[in-house]
Structure 1
Amino acid sequence: MKSTTPAEETKPVPANPDHRMVQLPWQSVKPNEDDPRAELLVRALTESPEYRQADEDIAFLNRDDTRPIRLQLDYFKAERLLVERGITDTIVVFGGTRLREPAAANRQVRELEALLRRAPDDADLLRQLRIAISIREKSKYYEIARSFGRLVGKAGSTAGKRLALMTGGGPGIMEAANRGAHEAGAPTIGLNILLPHEQYPNPYVTPGLCFRFHYFAIRKLHFLLRARALVVFPGGFGTLDELFETLTLIQTRKVTPIPVILVGQEFWAGIFNPELLADEGMIDAEDLNLFWYAETAEEIWQDIIRWYSQAGKPLCV
């Protein structure tokens, strides 16, 4: 053991990194015997919202003039976590929240039929039944999305889990696609959005990969940042919004072209008439090649593989 010299013995040892032997003056409130009001006055200061640390002050962060900070945080949290999980590529699936799995769709029809037997002239029930029957007919798309999710999940596992299926994290088609990838044992992503009414993510999104955004714009950005293909099932306003925005971005080359596949040509023919747009001069004929139709999970997947082969690019970067 090394001995110390008298000079060394007089030199201080390293200070404790956490504790002091004697408190500093500001570590205690001014004594009440000096001013009986001191404790109450200090408490009023420390409990005021202005005293809160900025990153813990929710009211401050929600002000109009702190929106740039919120936008940055909305983007950065998901980005950082996706990078940490090593996810570099996504297959994005959009589709209607109202499309249920076949068993649930059948159950809804039976329940409405039972109600109508007791009130056969109820116009509202008749309308609900017509819609429920329509949803039941489209429940096949739930199973197609689920099967497609399995294909993406298996491919992602082969690619070292760098490729993952991404949806909006909600019910319907999004649930089905996430469910298929979940059943394949693969990571699967859900991008929820904060809405005025309560909502829940579907149960098949991978824990740690379910994000909730405040801004639609930032959520849309994340949908496309890593997208290697966009697969669009029948849906409503939200589905159409994402589809047309993506087509516009590809048309204008604001993003590099990717496969855009519309599932269910019969449905889309009644919703979207791109040939008319071209005939009317609203888009160019070449824009009709920015997307195409498919009917089965296997067809969708093979179309994506074929597109990348023809483009001379790998599916995973």
Structure 2
Amino acid sequence: MTSERDLSDRKFYPADQEAKFSTEQADTPQTRHPAYKLAFQDKDFLLRDELRPVRFQLELLKPEMLLDEAGVGSTLVMYGSARIPPPESVDEVEEQAAKLPEDEARVLRNLAKKAKYYGEARKLARMVSEKSIIEEGKRQFVVCSGGGPSIMEAANRGASDAGAESVGLNIVLPHEQAPNPYVTPYLSLNFHYFALRKMHFLLRAKAVAVFPGGFGTFDEFFELLTLIQTGKMKKMPILLFGKDFWTRVVDFEAIADEGTISHKDLGLFQWCETADEAWAAIAEFYDLDR
């Protein structure tokens, strides 16, 4: 217990104690008015448009502090679809497809064919988590996903299989969304701003695995390529799973042939089909034991 004469004692009360003092004020028209609330306790004030820069700062700072306190040194980020089913659900998906018109059934069957990538994402996350690499007292290659279903779930699930913690970076959307059950609760973070979520995906990233996905996956993947292509980020292993899918939906060679990127830019990522190939690429890049 400190005293007023203790040199290590703070002379100002901490914010939580000041907040408690504020609740003990006399009940008057003045104290009941929102204007009297402490600014950091006034939610309506914090949500005003003019406070957007402050909310940006808070959304940058909170995850950074929590990840640092958790001893997360670096991450393996895993992007991918929220719609690809796990291998154990393929038969059920096929049964659903059989009851649908052909065009809708084709879509479901295409998703079912990609279930192997759920398996590879889960395996890669488990493999990397089992390595338990520690450097300078911090855990390296901690699995990090978008916290949602499908490929994201597979990533967190693989880390859970290894008894390891993993990060989930969720985002508030108009429709209901909850973190998948395999995200470590105290590393389950939620964002309002896509920009800040994107930043946290890459601040600690030392490797990124990209699986077949939709607009969100394309967005994260191409932004990452742009950051490295322009020199804003240092190179890292970018592991692109599913060559058949990606070359069907994106003609990378045509983009280079058109001259809007260089052919050497196609070397910014490397193709993978299996977790073993992905880990071999990471281990080679960082000169790690396989």
TM over 0.5: yes
Q: What is the Cα-based RMSD across aligned positions, in Å?
A: 2.2
TM-score, normalising length from structure 1?
0.79
Q: Following superposition of structure 1 onto structure 2, how do residues 154-233 of structure 1 map, counting pairs within 5 Å?
A: 154-156=130-132, 161-233=139-211
**In the alignment, structure 1 residue 80 sits paired with structure 2 residue 38:** no
**In the alignment, structure 1 residue 134 sits paired with structure 2 residue 119:** no
Deviations 1:251-278 (A, max 9, x none): 0010111111110111111122221111
Cα distance change of structure 1 residues 142 and 28 upon mapping to structure 2, 3 Å threshold: closer
Query: CA separation in 2, counterparts of 1:161 and 1:192?
Result: 22
The answer for the alignment partner of 1:268 in structure 2 is 246
| 3-state SS of paired residue (1:208) | helix
| 3-state SS of paired residue (1:229) | strand
The answer for the alignment partner of 1:253 in structure 2 is 231
Query: CA separation in 1, counterparts of 2:133 and 2:282?
Result: 17
**Which amino acid is 1:66 matched to?**
L
Query: CA separation in 1, counterparts of 2:253 and 2:116?
Result: 27
The answer to whether the Cα contact below 8 Å between 1:157 and 1:186 also exists between their aligned partners in 2 is no
The answer to whether the Cα contact below 8 Å between 2:82 and 2:149 also exists between their aligned partners in 1 is yes
| 3-state SS of paired residue (1:219) | helix
**In the alignment, structure 1 residue 70 sits paired with structure 2 residue 55:** yes
Cα distance change of structure 1 residues 140 and 178 upon mapping to structure 2, 3 Å threshold: same
TM-score, normalising length from structure 2?
0.87
> Percent identity of the aligned residues?
46
State the 1:235 CA deviation: 0.1
**In the alignment, structure 1 residue 284 sits paired with structure 2 residue 269:** no
The answer to whether the Cα contact below 8 Å between 2:134 and 2:140 also exists between their aligned partners in 1 is no
**Which amino acid is 2:173 matched to?**
L
Structure 1's unaligned 5+ residue stretches are 1-13, 19-26, 30-38, 117-124
**Which amino acid is 1:139 matched to?**
A
Query: CA separation in 2, counterparts of 1:192 and 1:28?
Result: 38
The answer for the alignment partner of 1:143 in structure 2 is 119
Residue of structure 2 aligned with 1:237, choices 215, 231, 239? 215
Aligned length, in residue pairs: 268
The answer to whether the Cα contact below 8 Å between 1:91 and 1:227 also exists between their aligned partners in 2 is yes
The answer to whether the Cα contact below 8 Å between 1:105 and 1:135 also exists between their aligned partners in 2 is no
Cα distance change of structure 1 residues 163 and 260 upon mapping to structure 2, 3 Å threshold: closer
Query: CA separation in 2, counterparts of 1:63 and 1:266?
Result: 47
Query: CA separation in 2, counterparts of 1:28 and 1:71?
Result: 32
Query: CA separation in 1, counterparts of 2:88 and 2:227?
Result: 38
Query: CA separation in 1, counterparts of 2:25 and 2:132?
Result: 57
Q: Following superposition of structure 1 onto structure 2, how do residues 110-121 of structure 1 map, counting pairs within 5 Å?
A: 110-113=95-98, 115-116=99-100
The answer to whether the Cα contact below 8 Å between 1:93 and 1:177 also exists between their aligned partners in 2 is yes
Is the radius of gyration larger for structure 1 or structure 2? 1
Query: CA separation in 2, counterparts of 1:277 and 1:157?
Result: 38
Cα distance change of structure 1 residues 134 and 254 upon mapping to structure 2, 3 Å threshold: same
Query: CA separation in 2, counterparts of 1:89 and 1:179?
Result: 19
Query: CA separation in 2, counterparts of 1:158 and 1:105?
Result: 37
